[in-house]
Amino acid sequence: MTGMGAVSPLGVGVGVNWEGIRDGRSGIGPLTRFPCEDYPTRIAGEVDFDPSLYLDRKDIRRMDIFIQYAMVAAIEAMDDSGLVIDEANASRVGCIVGVGIGGLQTIEDTHDSFVQSRLRRLSPFFIPKLISNLAPGHISMRFGARGANFAPTSACASGAHGVGEAFRQIRDGYLDAAICGGAEAALTQLGVAGFAIMKALSRRNDEPQKASRPFDRGRDGFVMGEGAGILVLEEWDAACARGARIHGEVIGYGANGDAHHITQPAPEGRGASECMKIALEDAGIEPTAVGYVNAHGTSTPFNDVSETLAIKHVFGAHAERLAISSTKSMTGHLLGAAGGLESIYSILALRERILPPTINQEEPDPECDLDYVPNAARAADVSIAMSNSFGFGGTNACLVFRRAEGDESGAPRS
């Protein structure tokens, strides 16, 4: 990986994001996007964002906010990578960005107008503004990347699938580089109401910064967030040849399904554990090689117990020595963007030798009895990390990362 870009409730930019993660700062607060006094959940991880600082007005009018987030993160990632796309390599650079829901705000806004005016006020940009694949589509047009271009749509695993599919295309020789990750912006009246009516969201409205509390006994649901995490992946030798700084390496990817339930994980984390095993086998490493797991860790009663059981099943006795944390305790759950952003956090944990904390661990759940790096970041010399993402419908994705060896600027691996 040679480039990173981030937009999240912790801020715009990788630097401010990592500072917030390292310091254990919460990005959760009162929901301000729309009146919600009658909602059982009135908190969220909103992004403080002015698109005009990054994009021109013409583009903004044609992009739902999830696309705007993706574009801003992609611009940062490409600037960070220094990758130049020209006629010689354009067809070998892809754009694969996962999106779970798409332009929900555009649908809601346009519906209200359409009911009143019918076709007289319907914009011809309505469909292109909201469909998921216009996140990678706009990115490809901005940078002239003509390789594989698509948007995995797999609920909360979308971003991880975006990274994993890009990794496979590069490893299998179809691409030399890819702009990949995830984006999401579902903090709308219908989006929040839909998750709230399922009783999936935390109702700790009086303490928003303590509401996302993965693996804690007092957890009562996840907190919705929004944003984007975009990475630039390149074939190792090509990146070294151009002298790129290499932040870290993707070495394994697993994807599978539970075939169990529309929202609940499979019993004892069966699907999740199988997915982690696939990723380890793909990486060609033993479970004992992993030192850190960035957990899916949503702060819901079902997920956190299920994921704990899955980790124990995969890692056996080594699970007791693993450091595990959920950065969702600080960002909330970015849904389709989560896997992209958490890939960045995982790579930074390896590069900076600092493990992110799980904040709000006040009373550990007896059923969640592993080391979740409670409340404060931890210095640790870990070289391999795993990142988990699981979604509704039983869709699972798992990524394995390795710290870049040598001087981290394109030096050969040891």
Q: Are strands 3-8 and 227-234 parallel, antiparallel or unpaired?
A: antiparallel
* pLDDT over threshold 50, residue 307: yes
End-to-end CA distance of the chain: 17
Whether 261 is catalytic: no
pLDDT number for residue 117: 85
Percent of the chain residues past pLDDT 70, beyond the cut: 98
Side chain identity at residue 185, one-letter code: A
Q: Report the pLDDT value the prediction gives residue 410, as an integer from 0 to 100.
A: 41
Instruction: Express each pLDDT in 119-177 by its tens digit.
Output: 777 899 999 999 999 999 999 999 999 999 999 999 999 999 999 999 999 999 999 99
Please count the CA atoms within 13 angstroms of the CA of 18 that sit on its side-chain side: 18
Each residue's pLDDT tens digit, 83-129? 999 999 999 999 999 999 999 999 999 998 888 887 777 899 999 99
Active-site residue flag, 296 = yes
36 is catalytic: no
Q: Which of 156, 180, 368, 398 is catalytic?
A: 156
Contacts of residue 189, defined as CB under 8 A and 6 or more positions apart, other chains included, come to: 34, 36, 108
User: What's residue 413's pLDDT?
Assistant: 40
**Region 340-345: what's the mean pLDDT?**
98
Distance of CA 86 to the CA centre of its chain: 29
Q: 248 in helix, strand or coil?
A: strand
**Res 407 pLDDT > 60:** no
* Residue in 138, 247, 333, 368 annotated catalytic: 333
User: In angstroms, rounded to a whole number, what is the distance separating the alpha carbons of residues 219 and 147?
Assistant: 43
At 406 the pLDDT is 60
What Cα–Cα distance (Å) separates residue 306 from each residue in 168, 214, 409? 28, 12, 39
- The gap from C-alpha 99 to its chain's centroid, in whole angstroms, comes to 10
The tokens for 171 are 């490893």
- 390, pLDDT greater than 80: yes
Catalytic residue among 275, 296, 368, 398: 296
Give residue-wise pLDDT tens across range 187-236. Answer: 999 999 999 999 999 999 999 999 999 999 999 999 999 999 999 999 99
The label of the residue with tokens 């060609």 reads 284
Predicted local distance difference test score (pLDDT) of residue 119: 75
| Mean pLDDT over each residue of the chain, to the nearest integer | 96
Structural domains in the chain plus CATH codes: 3-403 (3.40.47.10)
pLDDT tens-digit profile of 256-294? 999 999 999 999 999 999 999 999 999 999 999 999 999
